[in-house]
Structure 1
């Protein structure tokens, strides 16, 4: 937000110099990013008129001018400006003046011709960066008048670095409320003139964008003077706010935006057909904008259109074909309220940033459109003439944000700030900020004006008191208090323990952004329950990650491309879908072991990563609750070298090699293996419990079962444990055989059954019965046969 200091001081009395004002604004959270002093050192610079101009006899680019300074005699000035001509009024630095750049003006001879002063550009005077020619002043400027007095100088151009939660200060009147609160003064709001309706020109307005555009106002002004010039005072305020004057109509809408904070737009009314329609853009719709660019739109954009064509991208920029030109005599003034979410990111999507989008993205007071429309009409009639039609209003009141009161407790205010703020000062602060204050027994009920979108909770009110009361007035204390030692729950592992375990196994922790590109997710096959961002930083960071693996694999690719042959990475973070879920992911590639001499080199395989998973599971103390299965795999895993990980029968993650097609698409080798698990099941730990040493011995029985190749060990273990219950203390697989003596498509598994009863010694009969039950269960569930 850039503005003229003198303009601000017209709106609110500031009993402080420029430096104190800048310091107070910064300390109140409205950081002064840049302050440029304008027009100091202009003593001796006056308004002059060129009466005659002749070509210099010795220089093609110089002219010898006769200049009237209002003192009865003409001065001779040699000037090289391309726009120097008879009849214009310009600044003249007389002999003895010292310009802001340090130039001392003296009488001199230029190519043999005497010159008694210098005609100046805006840059030479230090009031603008324009050095293209002389600063041309309006014809009504008084010859001989001090230029500083005529232009209202000295002044300063102040630029604020506002935080996104303070859109109310993107208008001078809103900023004036903060300044009034800081300096104990009141805001002098410009008086609103009564606009006399002298035309019956109307145009229908239809709202078809729902809550995205709940209020739209317009007015037709007929018969304006297209040649009307912007008054000097208004043009100077625009320049000092960083805007170049363009034409009377455009300058007025920009002025109202700077003054009140309400962006406006003016259309050439003769180029509109039928009603104004506020609607969403249609897929593939295009619009040529004011800057000449072609905007390609989608349904996310809100459009201002007529019955046949789009006219403007709402809250961003107007269209080229309906623009106001030097021939426009009838205009349609627009003043509307758009929901911030409907405008957010739209300008960036079009590759631009406009003053209107900057304000609408942050939020504009929904009550401003009528006030701004009346103010713009007042200025337009006084500058360009014309006949004003009635105000045309379309609104959906249910979609406008209602005012909400927030309670501020006196005790809470003191506790947070650490200092007593007098009740009368609290009331003064909120009243000066334009808020409605109602006193309660233990505090206040505060209703913020519609411009203060940031006031939502008690902490917001405390912040207002703190910054206006002054952070310098809040004492500094050394923190004191007792620390409470946190007790780690025994039924849950600490995340740090998981990190340490993985680091001990040779993995490095990675930290990736929570956003990924839609293109990358499409490569992986993620398409359901995605969470796109409304206002992404870039197209490559447009979606919240549904999995940690795409980001980790990109990190692995980055390392591999830099000659890292053996990469081991893990990440503990959240993924986003239907819910927000803490997850653990591992990626690995290269050799199974770091280079060494003790054993032959081999590439990483499924079982290496499975071993790392088993080590993590063992920390929980309940490995029997975990299992792996070959079914239900996602499309990004290799069907023959991957597994689904389950706990208590429910899927918690996946493990295995990347699918060859995906690996090729990502330019990876076939040795990349991945693991992703929901973190919480992994952190669950069995509570330690002391048990007496068994009094009775265990019994072991070995059996060998012939069963189909496709039957997994998990199925075998489930069948045996289900049949023997608590008598089975341990089941050990000690041999697997296929080949001679075993049918094709079958295998032989030899296992040891460790049996034990806590109440008695098991007999041979008991053991044989257990073996029989286990064999029967395997025959039924796994199509197994007992081998002799």
Structure 2
């Protein structure tokens, strides 16, 4: 919401000399998010005046039309003589009033204007367009003013070019701040001054002579006010002051009738709609759409309506999407105009004004369903004062009578669904207990009255909530009003004191350890949205019956392309890798830890938990039963170089073994040692995929997969060649780890290293040989590491040589050469027995 400071001063007596920055500080302290304060006209320097075009000479010897104009600027140039000005626009004529900047002036953007020779003539100034003045984007022609302004008049003051505009980001629960009325109320409270409420108007009572209205859905529309203005001058134009206020508020002037309804909406907060009475057929109606109905809205799009859409109708059918956008068939008729600031000349002479209140949820769903957002829908979604309709309609009537020469018909239509005042009961010390600050009854009552509440009672207050604050529905809402108006900055800062022994859970500690371990191994953490669509699962090459295709579908997804919750971390990670690779980063190693979602028995209706007490065990169990399973995962993806080349030597590209090592890194953080076996599992390459095993509750189970992605997956997702990935279950690793990770015992005695090269069949996994070496070496073996793989004629066809480094160490003594050798021989013997290994060279 853009709020011009000059407009705000009409309703609040701000201190003399108060700036937009000062108002911004006060409103931020009161809880409104004022993002910026824009200073209009700060870089504009005069003299900028009104000029009257006396003569125009067309210069035809140039490639584009050039005009040499004589312009009367009154006494602004101190001589009274006309100014000779070169201009390339053709949308003005002799006798028109224009805006002229004289030599010595400066336009926004640092454009200085001096007398200079151009096109063979001396140009003594410049005739300005809307964009050159910084009041709009229109640069098609010169700004032509209404004829009543005298030459020499200060155009800076006339066009209100010097002002400050507050740009407020309005939260969904503060819809009242989408109006000058709402912002002015907050400003008046912040400065402790009275508010001149623009909605306090003398409104005639409803009668039987108004335009007929039929509301078939009182839940969707609980109030509808209709007024009629006749005898409107079709040549009437929006005055400059009205257009400038709309422009400063971020809206484009269109025509007098439309400008007036937009102005009143900005002023009071009630969206309105103006219908050409000649285009209406019968009474106005409000109902839900019928199946198959269509409507062409003001933006020229034909829309197929949904049965939940709320419509405005006449006897012919739909004429507007209620609270969102009107239909094209009943819009105010317009004729061609010459310039932007004059506004469109309307051909309509009789106008029906609609000021209705619609259900916020219905309007929000219609707006999202049709992907159609308007200024009206933004306000209805956040809550509009249902009592503001009659005042807004009256204000619109008054402006049309004043500016368009119309006459207000005596008829006043109001259709109202009965409703009582909303009350909330609250203990007077409730804000004190929420904030931990003793405010006292006087401050609580005063602050609630300032926001418009009626307050009764002593120890327990009965608070009648104002109609413009639908967000005040519970004692905590009222406490928030007291706290924010008393000042968040006045709340003391205290650190919470958790009871001893209530630190991180084992699950949380493992989550952090896994992340630190991967980060320490050179991976970069990313956080992705937990949403997925069928297209991503198709690209991963998952079978139709793959459990990962069964997703939890959201009722109201952010994107129709991703309506489900993820069942694997890989789609988000691979999308992040593709995005970064496309932006020039060739070497990537990314990881993510988080939840995935698997549906199972969550179809039951969850219990609604209370907020005034701790839920019972049965209520918590009911809620948990309604949730899908949410296992924790860790995943990583790699592409490009794992080790870069440099003066230290050649680099090395990332391969499947690095993905397996990433999984081992996570498992080590849980105190688990993984076993690997070749496997075929989408989306990995069938010949470069490893299943990862761990002992979970005494049973050997698969805890994840790692390896190189399938080429078809790489192509479908537009990934770099040979992209690798791994994904493991943190929940299973936590169980397999059996509790906190124990720090290893570090021996102070020296290590004995023995290398062995074993020849085995080419299809024997290196992991199988390593497991045999561990089993045979016994307790003295500290580690075993594969450091070389060799194939060739020397070892024979269908054979390979695996070289391992064995480290032996005793915790209580220095090993002798005989002890280390015996352990080595035992390890080789076990490898020969289990894997058919033969000592190379033997």
Report TM bin, short chain.
Answer: 0.5 to 0.7
Cα distance between partner residues in 1 of 2:46 and 2:515: 75
Cα distance between partner residues in 1 of 2:39 and 2:358: 36
Matches within 5 A, 1:528-547: 532-534=554-556, 536-542=557-563, 545=565
TM-score, normalised relative to structure 2: 0.62
Q: Is residue 272–residue 322 contact of structure 1 (8 Å, CA) maintained in 2?
A: yes
Q: Which residue of 2 aligns with 1:67?
A: 72
Q: Is residue 511–residue 593 contact of structure 2 (8 Å, CA) maintained in 1?
A: no
Q: Is residue 97–residue 144 contact of structure 2 (8 Å, CA) maintained in 1?
A: yes
Please give the per-residue CA displacement for 1:137-187, whole angstroms capped at 9, x wherever unaligned: 222224433223333452123221222221110010011110001111111
Q: Which residue of 1 aligns with 2:184?
A: 176
* Structure-2 change in CA distance of 1:497 and 1:430 (3 Å): same
* 1:78 maps onto 2:84 in alignment: yes
Match of residue 360, structure 1, among 370, 380, 388: 380
- What SS does structure 2 have at the residue aligned with 1:440? coil
Cα distance between partner residues in 2 of 1:453 and 1:555: 42
Q: Is residue 266–residue 334 contact of structure 1 (8 Å, CA) maintained in 2?
A: yes
* Structure-2 change in CA distance of 1:542 and 1:216 (3 Å): farther
Q: Is residue 45–residue 107 contact of structure 2 (8 Å, CA) maintained in 1?
A: yes
CA RMSD of aligned residues (A): 5.3
Cα distance between partner residues in 1 of 2:114 and 2:635: 79
* 1:549 maps onto 2:571 in alignment: no
Cα distance between partner residues in 1 of 2:95 and 2:206: 39
Q: Is residue 276–residue 330 contact of structure 2 (8 Å, CA) maintained in 1?
A: yes
- What SS does structure 2 have at the residue aligned with 1:75? coil
- What SS does structure 2 have at the residue aligned with 1:83? coil
In the TM superposition, residue 256 of structure 1 has moved relative to its aligned partner by: 1.1
In the TM superposition, residue 86 of structure 1 has moved relative to its aligned partner by: 1.7
Q: Which moved more, 1:8-17 or 1:145-154?
A: 145-154
Q: Which residue of 2 aligns with 1:637?
A: none
Cα distance between partner residues in 1 of 2:350 and 2:681: 77
Q: Is residue 572–residue 582 contact of structure 1 (8 Å, CA) maintained in 2?
A: no
Please give the per-residue CA displacement for 1:428-462, whole angstroms capped at 9, x wherever unaligned: 433332222335237x5443312223223333333
In the TM superposition, residue 194 of structure 1 has moved relative to its aligned partner by: 4.7
Q: Which runs of 5+ in 1 are unaligned?
A: 629-641, 643-654, 657-662, 686-788
Q: Which residue of 2 aligns with 1:203?
A: 212
Matches within 5 A, 1:251-262: 251-262=259-270
- What SS does structure 1 have at the residue aligned with 2:320? strand
Q: Is residue 206–residue 275 contact of structure 1 (8 Å, CA) maintained in 2?
A: no
In the TM superposition, residue 675 of structure 1 has moved relative to its aligned partner by: 12
Cα distance between partner residues in 2 of 1:106 and 1:201: 60
Count of paired positions: 632
Q: Which residue of 1 aligns with 2:294?
A: 286
Q: Which residue of 2 aligns with 1:647?
A: none
* 1:451 maps onto 2:468 in alignment: yes
* Structure-2 change in CA distance of 1:480 and 1:332 (3 Å): closer
In the TM superposition, residue 33 of structure 1 has moved relative to its aligned partner by: 2.5
Q: Which residue of 1 aligns with 2:249?
A: 241
Match of residue 154, structure 1, among 148, 162, 185: 162
Cα distance between partner residues in 2 of 1:141 and 1:388: 33
Q: Which residue of 1 aligns with 2:412?
A: 391
Please give the per-residue CA displacement for 1:219-276, whole angstroms capped at 9, x wherever unaligned: 3333322221112221111111111111111111111111111111122222223333
Q: Is residue 2–residue 166 contact of structure 2 (8 Å, CA) maintained in 1?
A: yes
Q: Which residue of 2 aligns with 1:212?
A: 220
* Structure-2 change in CA distance of 1:480 and 1:195 (3 Å): closer
Q: Is residue 290–residue 317 contact of structure 1 (8 Å, CA) maintained in 2?
A: yes
In the TM superposition, residue 61 of structure 1 has moved relative to its aligned partner by: 0.6
* Structure-2 change in CA distance of 1:350 and 1:146 (3 Å): same
Q: Is residue 56–residue 64 contact of structure 1 (8 Å, CA) maintained in 2?
A: no
In the TM superposition, residue 586 of structure 1 has moved relative to its aligned partner by: 7.7
Q: Is residue 585–residue 674 contact of structure 1 (8 Å, CA) maintained in 2?
A: no
* 1:403 maps onto 2:425 in alignment: no
* Structure-2 change in CA distance of 1:247 and 1:594 (3 Å): closer
Q: Which residue of 2 aligns with 1:15?
A: 15
Q: Which residue of 2 aligns with 1:133?
A: 141
In the TM superposition, residue 574 of structure 1 has moved relative to its aligned partner by: 6.0
Cα distance between partner residues in 2 of 1:599 and 1:415: 56
Q: Which runs of 5+ in 2 are unaligned?
A: 335-346, 518-522, 539-543, 582-589, 604-625, 637-655, 665-673, 683-689, 706-711, 718-724, 739-842
TM-score, normalised relative to structure 1: 0.66
In the TM superposition, residue 189 of structure 1 has moved relative to its aligned partner by: 1.9
* Structure-2 change in CA distance of 1:62 and 1:452 (3 Å): same
Q: Which residue of 1 aligns with 2:56?
A: 53
Please give the per-residue CA displacement for 1:540-570, whole angstroms capped at 9, x wherever unaligned: 2445x4xx637778879999999xxxx9999
* Structure-2 change in CA distance of 1:556 and 1:270 (3 Å): same
Match of residue 26, structure 1, among 28, 32, 36: 28
